[in-house]
Structure 1
């Protein structure tokens, strides 16, 4: 493959099993705020300008590869022999980036931010070091590798908890497990001679690469992140929950600072990639995920779900769900309605209670007030769809589309047997089943004639009261 030294690259370590999680997923695929931890790390790297990504997989790697698709390369660490060994598996990837810089990060560290990655790289370049460790200062550093600096601030060593002297263990600056390396220098030490297996565990540790770089006279530095949570990971379900709660609180706080109104945060979950405009209100029990964008002055909730959707200004979504769709300005939805993937709802629409839309476009100022299913349909502007109307879009094998022209009136309990086209200004009588196209301005009536039988009750039941 092409040699690309001018492109920032990253190797993300994602081979771990996470036995204590007691999950059928690989550890990095466990979610914080409904987003895999691996996704947090990859997005942070991309946000810092990293273009080429290599993910080292291992345990249940099929799930990771399915999640990644073609967005990143993968290599397999068949035997879990430590972080240094994992990076060795990416040697071919690193060879293609000789002359460049590589970020090494753990796939289960969701609070590693783009800002931290960028600032660490800036320091790395400014100092001319061969390696820069991303560090943090903790009140309680127990269990973490300590960053030991020289008088000039350079890194002399990374000392693990079990190996440190009392003086070294008194240091509160710790290793986050993320690094910037000069690729050429990393490749020079990325071998068993410099990264010898531990006599206790048999594993090769990436911290030994830092020690090897120092031993050959190259510079080593540490960027002290302002956010101490950069070091946080999870090894148990309780710790994972705590990560999620911390992330939830931080994200809500950020939105509050940006002018979003969240009067009660109970049950409110907002994903890390969500954008919400000012003066919008989020009510309890609302879950907003994916790359959702919500405009200004909206009212969302209570108990609403919005995923990967675009919501215009001054939209109200009450106790309803919107997924992978667009809702334009001034529309209200709900309560108890569902907008399924592939929908676009125009401006000033009313999608009332118990309405389901699927793969449907709805024009401006259209009303679908209650109890209707409109799927695979193109609905015009200023259309009024009555109670209980249904597009019958599935013939048992294929889905078919319907269309309804502007300013049409669809009577209650109308069935549109797809594929049919209703022109502009058409009307269907209540109870009509439409099986053929209706031209502009026409009315369709397709219901059984009502037969009235006088005296039938007396004949059937006699004098019963």
Structure 2
């Protein structure tokens, strides 16, 4: 069995945040989530996450995932260190298991890399395999120390390294694979005889070497994969790398981006082929976008389903559904639970909320459609307001097929306009309008002669 132990107990003081470090998000997903997903995609069958600082929040966020959480004790007499953290998962693996050690603050590690790493470890029958990397500036990393036969025999941390050892460029990524029995036995030999006074997992390497156990080193091809996040600027750098990776994959799958650097798409999003995305778009959460769509300008789409052939121009769409060949915007807002049909136009400064808007219907500009069921081929004129709130409760309006709502009309809910009902411009409708009727509700117009001269305005 393949078991992964993910270390996520650190406080992350340099983040200067009340949020646990591993819950800080990159493109909508916590750092820890990326590490968990990479492990799962590498056919890891059991995941044990070691938590400490902010454990309640971490537990709550991942409560629906099939994960074991182990809490690292905290206190002045606790030795801490990576070795101590791994000890907390003692019950979660067996002697014959392959145990993969990962870090919750290195979200860029790819499942493909882990696949190759685990395969190398198992085929080589190593007791321990270290994921290593060559860095131009290895400062701060533990150095991989090899003997005259180029065999790894220890890892030395920066603070404990000699001047000669500090010149070594091959570093420990913090990712290991162990045979379960060798890991458990070697953990018992750890001590705190080091600069930090902690139990270093890396000290196991020297113990295994002295016992003539086989130790492997698997070199990383893309050093960015082990980039660790310790501060907000690190988080920003990591986000840029992930954005580039995610956008590139969408483009490889047939999506066009005019300027991918200016487009933010979360990896949970699905986008169909031949969709074109212009600069400034933000697409988030559980959103699916069909084929042959066009997204212009500062469009943001959140947790929504967009059909094929849809054009969205500088609009905000939240938790809504948009049918095929519909046009949204510019400067429109679909608020949660807007269900917009096919071949619809939702135009300039139109807001739709908690409403059904039927196929072929139009709201060209400056309208509010709230808590309404609008049929097919309905025209909603400029300045129309569906008055849905009485100060205490929300009420729904219903508009039938082929109805016409004239400009500046108010539909005061609850009210019903049947099929082919016509509402004259400027009317405030409080009573139902039946099929084929024209409803006019206006005060009688009065023109007063000489009024301007009497007021002295001329």
Question: How high is the TM-score relative to the length of structure 1?
Answer: 0.83
Which of residues 431, 447, 464 in structure 1 aligns to 2:457? 464
Which of residues 18, 25, 28 in structure 1 aligns to 2:22? 28
Equivalent residue number for residue 14 of structure 1: 8
Equivalent residue number for residue 83 of structure 2: 84
State the shift of 1:256 in Å: 4.3
CA distance in 1, matches of 2:404, 2:83: 68
CA distance in 1, matches of 2:316, 2:230: 33
Question: Is 1:49 paired with 2:43?
Answer: yes
Which of residues 129, 139, 143 in structure 2 aligns to 1:142? 139
- State how 1:251-400 maps to structure 2 within 5 Å: 251-265=246-260, 267-400=262-395
Q: CA RMSD in A?
A: 3.3
Give per-residue Cα distances to partners, 1:402-461, cap 9 Å, x unaligned. Answer: 44333333333344444555444443333444445555x2436363432415337258x3
CA distance in 2, matches of 1:391, 1:37: 43
CA distance in 2, matches of 1:331, 1:152: 68
CA distance in 2, matches of 1:414, 1:153: 83
Change (3 A) 1:70 1:216: farther
Task: State the secondary structure of the residue aligned to 1:374.
Answer: strand
Which of residues 173, 176, 181 in structure 2 aligns to 1:179? 176
CA distance in 1, matches of 2:329, 2:297: 11
Task: State the secondary structure of the residue aligned to 1:65.
Answer: helix
CA distance in 1, matches of 2:264, 2:25: 13
Contact 1:154 1:219 in 2 (8 A): no
- State how 1:118-197 maps to structure 2 within 5 Å: 118-148=115-145, 155-164=152-161, 169=166, 171-190=168-187, 193-197=188-192
Change (3 A) 1:101 1:429: farther
CA distance in 2, matches of 1:379, 1:189: 70
CA distance in 1, matches of 2:140, 2:7: 20
Unaligned runs of 5+ in 1: 1-5
State the shift of 1:83 in Å: 1.9
State the shift of 1:232 in Å: 0.5
Which of residues 227, 234, 243 in structure 1 aligns to 2:222? 227
CA distance in 1, matches of 2:48, 2:428: 56
State the shift of 1:382 in Å: 2.4
Task: State the secondary structure of the residue aligned to 1:124.
Answer: helix
CA distance in 2, matches of 1:282, 1:411: 35
Which of residues 86, 105, 110 in structure 2 aligns to 1:108? 105
- State how 1:55-94 maps to structure 2 within 5 Å: 55-71=49-65, 72-79=67-74, 81-92=80-91, 94=92
Contact 2:310 2:325 in 1 (8 A): yes
State the shift of 1:395 in Å: 4.6
Contact 1:432 1:444 in 2 (8 A): no
CA distance in 1, matches of 2:150, 2:372: 66
- Which moves more between the two structures, 311-320 or 416-425? 416-425
CA distance in 2, matches of 1:225, 1:48: 16
Give per-residue Cα distances to partners, 1:159-205, cap 9 Å, x unaligned. Answer: 33344467755554322222334445434444xx3232344323222
Task: State the secondary structure of the residue aligned to 1:336.
Answer: coil
Contact 1:308 1:324 in 2 (8 A): yes
Give per-residue Cα distances to partners, 1:255-274, cap 9 Å, x unaligned. Answer: 44444433335633233344
Contact 1:281 1:298 in 2 (8 A): yes
Change (3 A) 1:455 1:255: same
Equivalent residue number for residue 3 of structure 1: none
Change (3 A) 1:392 1:88: farther
State the shift of 1:78 in Å: 4.2
State the shift of 1:366 in Å: 2.2
CA distance in 2, matches of 1:391, 1:55: 51
CA distance in 1, matches of 2:95, 2:338: 47
Change (3 A) 1:414 1:83: farther
Task: State the secondary structure of the residue aligned to 1:178.
Answer: strand
CA distance in 2, matches of 1:209, 1:218: 11
Which of residues 14, 30, 33 in structure 2 aligns to 1:39? 33
Give per-residue Cα distances to partners, 1:55-110, cap 9 Å, x unaligned. Answer: 33333334433432422443333428122222233344x15x77544433211112
- Which moves more between the two structures, 159-168 or 276-285? 159-168
CA distance in 1, matches of 2:3, 2:394: 44
